[in-house]
Structure 1
């Protein structure tokens, strides 16, 4: 059997989206940001995730959302033979600068029907520490 130059016997077998690497600009964690009543509202699409799989953290003025999912699906025929088995494990993360003045208490989050809604104040004045005299030696 003679193959054409540049043709691989496995091209047809592996010509499937399942085997292609995920593009860094993929459709994970699509986010809309709105301003509502002096607050910012982030609406983030996270279909297929459970509430327990989503973590939100605030550090140095950055709000970070991390979602982790581990799926193991198996289809069997009526004889119990595996017809298809798919596994997926992955983590996606996005960060947003929200301000150094925003605290964990200011952030409200709700997960409903595959969409994460996060609300935090738009303009919260940064608390200025009370000045203290500096001793001179």
Structure 2
């Protein structure tokens, strides 16, 4: 597989647009880790984050908050061994994902999570916004 040269222009498409929107909106920190696909929906008074994590069990998924960042981690280890006569067959499979999101404007005490059919759903309630205090003052 050939890697593009650093001097080549990256094709900008709709998929890139949404990835960049998500990164700027949630401040993704997961660039140095393996990643998984997410959809983020604005449901009015809360955001719904849907993360694709097929093949993982609920026990292999960890969600934590540190400061203003929510981190979703998933790690899967599987090992099988089969022995017959003089031949041995052994396989190992390992997968690890981690992704972080800025939740500074989220009520972190009210976050709910559910995992079903390979999709992790998080309900992220928005903090109540303080009334806009911007106004013009007339100069006399």
- Band the TM-score falls in, shorter-chain normalisation: 0.5 to 0.7
1:61–1:102 Cα contact (<8 Å) kept: no
TM-score scaled by structure 1?
Answer: 0.60
- 2:115 counterpart of 1:108: no
- 2:67 counterpart of 1:60: yes
Large movers: runs of 4+ above 2 Å: 73-77, 79-82, 100-103, 122-126
1:101–1:125 Cα contact (<8 Å) kept: no
- 2:103 counterpart of 1:98: yes
The structure that has the greater radius of gyration is 1
TM-score scaled by structure 2?
Answer: 0.59
2:64–2:72 Cα contact (<8 Å) kept: yes
Q: 1:106 to 1:80 in 2, by over 3 A?
A: farther
Runs of 5+ consecutive residues of structure 1 not aligned to the other structure: 1-23, 127-137
Give the CA RMSD over aligned residues: 2.6
Q: Tell me the matched-pair count.
A: 99
Query: 1 or 2, which has the higher helix percentage?
Result: 2
